[in-house]
Amino acid sequence: MVTAAFLVATLSLFFSGVPGLLLPRGSVAGERLALAMVVGGSTLGLAAAVGVVLAPAPLLFSYPWGVPGGNFALCLDTIAALFLLPVYVIALLGAVYALGYWPERLNPGTGRRLRLFYGVIVAALTLVLTAASSLLFLVAWEIMALAGYFLITTEEKKEEARRAGFLYLVATHTGTLALLAMFILLGEASGSLDFPYPGALAATGSAAGIFLLALFGFGLKAGLIPLHVWLPGAHAAAPSHVSALLSGVMIKTGIYGLVRLTGFFAEIPPWWGWTLLTLGAVSGVLGVAFAIAQHDLKRLLAYHSVENIGIIALGLGLALLGRSHGLPALALLGLAGALLHVVNHGLFKSLLFLGAGSVIQATGSRQIGGAGGLLRRLPVTGICFFGGAVAISGLPPLNGFISEWLVYLGALHSLHGERALSLAAVVAPTLALIGALALACFVKVFGALFLGAARSAQAAEAREAPASMRWPMLLLLAACAGIGLFPASVFPLLERAAQNWGVEAAGGLLAVAPPWPLTFVAWLLLVLAALLWLWRRRARRQASAADTWGCGYALPNSRMQYTPSSFAALLVDLFRWGLRPERHGGRAEGVLPASASFASHTPDAILDRLLLPLVGGGARACTWLRARIQNGSGGLYLLYVALTLCSLLIFLLLRG
Amino acid sequence: MIAAAILHLLLLFLLSPLLLGVIGKTKACFAGRVGAPFLQPYFDILKLLRKGFVLSRTTTWVFIAGPVVALVVPVVASLLIPFGALAAPLAFTGDLILFVYLFGLARFFTAAAALDTGSSFEGMGAAREVTYSCLAEPTVFFALIVLARLTGSFSLNGMLGPALAGQWPTGGAPLGLILVALLVVLLVENSRIPFDDPNTHLELTMVHEVMVLDHGGPLFGLVLYGAAMKLFVLGSLLVGLVLPWRTGSLLADTALFVIAMLLLAVLIGIVESVMARLRLLRIPQMLIGTSLIAAFAMVLVLR
């Protein structure tokens, strides 16, 4: 029943864009039909996911199909449900948002293909998250990757989108290659292409190879530094509701893969956890540092995805260490924190991307520095963005705090272990650094976009988004607040997911990390702030208005405001060793200087300074080698044939 | 628990501005002046609360939310931390994380309120405030790890309670190190000399004071009161670290705590009198150095 609902939901999503293809360009009917199918499919899928959560045991479904090597096998357990819930929610809200953001009548050239691949990627995502055989997983993974490519290049007329799409395609196929090798090794180890049962594999023999290949393949999708190079460009180039889907849920398939794979093994070598912790810490700190230095709103948000993937990796690393050292409480806290952060990040990051879309539509620009004062023009978008900013900074009383709190508790629990393990407590200061940097970054973004005075004519004339764009944001904000105010409601879910993963602690999550005081404090905070607010509000009516004090300067204007890049300059300077920001101009020359200009720019140091030179060097070396080997002289080619024959003969001799 | 909460809040509401008065008096003593009366901060706050509002035309609700949250946060946070031997009314596993993050919330709102005015001075102050906090926050967690390891507790009540008293003789070195580190954090977070000067206005080198340049009247009253409470709450963390012993009598415990807080205020006054402000570029170096001291303390307890 639940499985059937899930399959129907997947089919409905998969084909949601197809009727529109048969209808003429610019037809509103196709748009409405696609929306109806996405909404119907997502609602059904949500119901199925809830059914999975309520079911006493994981639901298994297997159908022998004609493709060699394995069955069409699905496994619907709580881990899958936890990842599926945000997929359906964000897909549904994103489709509604698209009505206002990318309407067919304004985008007849791209609308149909956008909706087609939107449906395809969501359906493929749900299959990736439920597949229980290697072949089905890889097929769904590839469909997802390709649909992602077409979504990123929606605006293919723009050079930037084509570049980002190509980089994404190269990255994702490199990852698939690693995953293919990984699944072959896994199949050899388990004896079948169907996924093994949790805890069925011994961590011997090829386990290290499997883990490293998975870390590379899945890490590339998730965007762990240094494998994140495709991510900022791709998220920036895609339409905003697609960015929300890509950043909110698509990159989480990498995390899902790592969680699922590590669940197969009975015991975990400690170095797995340490590797993931290190990668997580590097991704978290450098991701947010790169984000602070960005001027492009969507690139900035994309780097924050790298940061949050880092936080998730920290949690997962703690969970692995907990399993290696036999501390179930640590494993439970780490995994619960990681999984809850997956859900939370899906919610608040898509909220922020939808808010960014609304800002971009209103001002016509992705540059943060050109906006300002939007809170008066876009009050609803402003509040939603503010909520998202508070949540992503991990501040109470919203949901980001709850998951970070669990990871922190995990870090503290590692102090209970032996000496080698207690070093993992360093996760706590690392998280504190990441959180404080994220706060700095989002004060900058929110302040530059929504506060102060407008810095450009477009920002001064900005109009609030239509209702179809406002409601999805408000609902996402409500979801963020809901998890933040009632964390106990999601804890049983996390606990069951941990059981599916093979971790069970005495008393469960509620005993290790009782969340009720958090609820109490969150409400106390809200009530006190509301009381003070009401008290002040009465007096505020008699307030007199004045200009902002210009420190004696009589003619202040909006260009004299502190710019976002100045705001970030102190922090960018502290991280100069990793970011390598570029500065141009800015020096006034002579006694009576002429007008001068200054620009700063922070490209992705790992892509531009490491990867591209490396790949370029490799390509040149190959060209050089090819020119030597294939130089057009027939005699040399004959020599090659003779040499090959000789080596084959020697090989046969040695074998015989 | 209710009685404990009421006592906690009474101490906080009534005594927090006194700390500012004591600091001012100490500085006046060092300068050879008579100085303002001890109760001057109370008069200032009352005077401000009675005034009318003047709001900048560029501001929105964020501008008012800043002082409101900055006042609410120390009140809520005070419930999580023991005042000397008076146990915290609200203690649970992991409350230390909430304690630190609550102040993060206040910082988010005050910095946003500063940017809401559109003034470049306030933008500068906000940028510095969030930057320095990035460097101070890891220090706090290094210190808390030391306490958690030594006492085996994940709650502020346990970390600063009798379990800590038994650790001072053996764990004096790491505890002394984190004491220094936390004192630096206290000075940074409350914008005191040598990191910031609460008495200068209109200097490009200021941090916190410049953020509230456009807040006036009752809003500035809230800011002042909130700042006093923040000093009180963060100060009680230091006092709890130095004075984990219990006398057993409620009256003696309370008196001991109040005396310790006043001594802390005198100490801050002395620091402010004998030190000059650091150059702006030195502050990050100083903060990173402090983080390293705290990290070293952690290494000492983990070995």
pLDDT given for residue B248 in this prediction:
81
pLDDT in tens, B25-80: 999 999 999 989 999 999 999 999 988 888 888 888 899 899 999 999 999 999 99
Task: Give the β-pairing of A598-601 and A582-585.
Answer: antiparallel
CA distance A234 to A299: 9
Phi, psi of B168 (to 5 degrees): -60, -45
Interface of A with B in 546-575 (CB under 8 A): 546-551, 556, 558, 560-562, 566-571, 574
> Are the Cβ atoms of B52 and A546 closer than 8 angstroms?
no
CB contacts of A453 in chain B (<8 Å) are 58, 118
- A396: nearest CB among B98, B119, B133: B98
pLDDT given for residue A538 in this prediction:
66
The token duo for A399 is 């949901």
| SS3 readout for A330-346 | HHHHHHHHHHHHHHHHH
Whether the CB-CB separation of A318 and A424 falls below 8 Å is answered with yes
Nearest to A308 by CA among A249, A259, A266, A384: A249
- Cis, peptide link before residue A515, omega less than 30° from 0: no
pTM summary value = 0.94
pLDDT given for residue A620 in this prediction:
96
CB contacts of A518 in chain B (<8 Å) are 98
Question: Any chain B CB within 8 A of the CB of A595?
Answer: no
CB contacts of B133 in chain A (<8 Å) are 436, 439-440
> Are the Cβ atoms of A396 and B56 closer than 8 angstroms?
no
> Are the Cβ atoms of B58 and A373 closer than 8 angstroms?
yes
Continuous segment of H or E residues that includes residue B260: helix B250-274
Phi, psi of A598 (to 5 degrees): -140, 140
Range of the domain at B141: 2-302
pLDDT tens per residue across all 303 residues of chain B: 788 899 999 999 999 999 999 999 999 999 999 989 999 999 999 999 988 888 888 888 899 899 999 999 999 999 999 998 888 999 999 999 999 999 999 999 999 999 998 888 888 889 999 999 999 999 999 999 999 999 988 999 889 888 888 888 888 899 999 999 999 999 999 888 888 877 765 556 677 788 888 888 889 999 999 999 999 999 999 999 998 888 888 899 999 999 999 999 999 999 999 988 888 888 899 999 999 999 999 999 987
Whether the CB-CB separation of B194 and B280 falls below 8 Å is answered with no
Task: Give the β-pairing of A59-63 and A544-546.
Answer: unpaired
Burial class (CB in 10 A: 0-12, 13-18, 19+), A387: buried
Q: Find all residues with CB under 8 Å of B245, minimum gap 6, and list them.
A: B85, B162, B165
The string of DSSP letters for A350-378 reads HHHHHHHHHHHHHHS--BGGG---HHHH-
- Count CB neighbours of A508 within 10 A: 17
At residue A243, the 3 state secondary structure works out as helix
Domain boundaries, given as residue ranges, for chain A: 270-532+564-581, 620-656
Phi, psi of A544 (to 5 degrees): -100, 150
- Side-chain half-sphere exposure of A178, counting CA atoms within 13 A: 20
pLDDT given for residue B200 in this prediction:
67
The string of DSSP letters for B21-88 reads HHHHHHHHHHHT---S-TTHHHHHHHHHHHSPPEEETT--HHHHHHHHHHHHHHHHHHTTS-BTTB--
Whole-angstrom distance between the N-terminal and C-terminal Cα of chain A?
60
> Are the Cβ atoms of B116 and A412 closer than 8 angstroms?
no
User: If you ran DSSP here, which 8-state letter would residue A487 be given?
Assistant: G
Nearest to A291 by CA among A282, A283, A302: A302
**CA-to-CA dists, residue A547 to A553, B48, B121, B156, B209, angstroms:** 11, 20, 14, 45, 19
Mean pLDDT over A274-295 rounds to 94
Burial class (CB in 10 A: 0-12, 13-18, 19+), A156: middle
Question: Any chain A CB within 8 A of the CB of B202?
Answer: yes
Nearest to B256 by CA among B17, B85, B38: B85
Number of domains making up chain B? 1
Mean pLDDT over A522-528 rounds to 90
> Are the Cβ atoms of A447 and B121 closer than 8 angstroms?
no
Question: Any chain A CB within 8 A of the CB of B270?
Answer: no
Residue where the block lists tokens 């001072």: B168
Which site among A368, A401, A532 would you substitute to test the B interface, given the most B Cβ atoms closer than 10 Å to its Cβ?
A532
pLDDT given for residue A540 in this prediction:
65
Continuous segment of H or E residues that includes residue A62: strand A59-63
- Tell me: pLDDT of A69 over 70: no
- Tell me: pLDDT of A245 over 80: yes
Burial class (CB in 10 A: 0-12, 13-18, 19+), B69: buried
Interface of A with B in 597-636 (CB under 8 A): none
pLDDT given for residue B209 in this prediction:
80
Question: Any chain B CB within 8 A of the CB of A457?
Answer: no
% of chain A surpassing 70 pLDDT:
99
CB contacts of B142 in chain A (<8 Å) are 429
CB contacts of B58 in chain A (<8 Å) are 373, 452-453, 548
pLDDT in tens, A344-364: 999 999 999 999 999 999 998
The token duo for A413 is 């629990």
- Tell me: pLDDT of A327 over 70: yes
Q: How far is A285 from chain B (nearest CA, A)?
A: 11
pLDDT given for residue A630 in this prediction:
86
CB contacts of B207 in chain A (<8 Å) are none
Nearest to A498 by CA among A271, A314, A343, A333: A333
Q: What is the CA radius of gyration of chain A?
A: 26
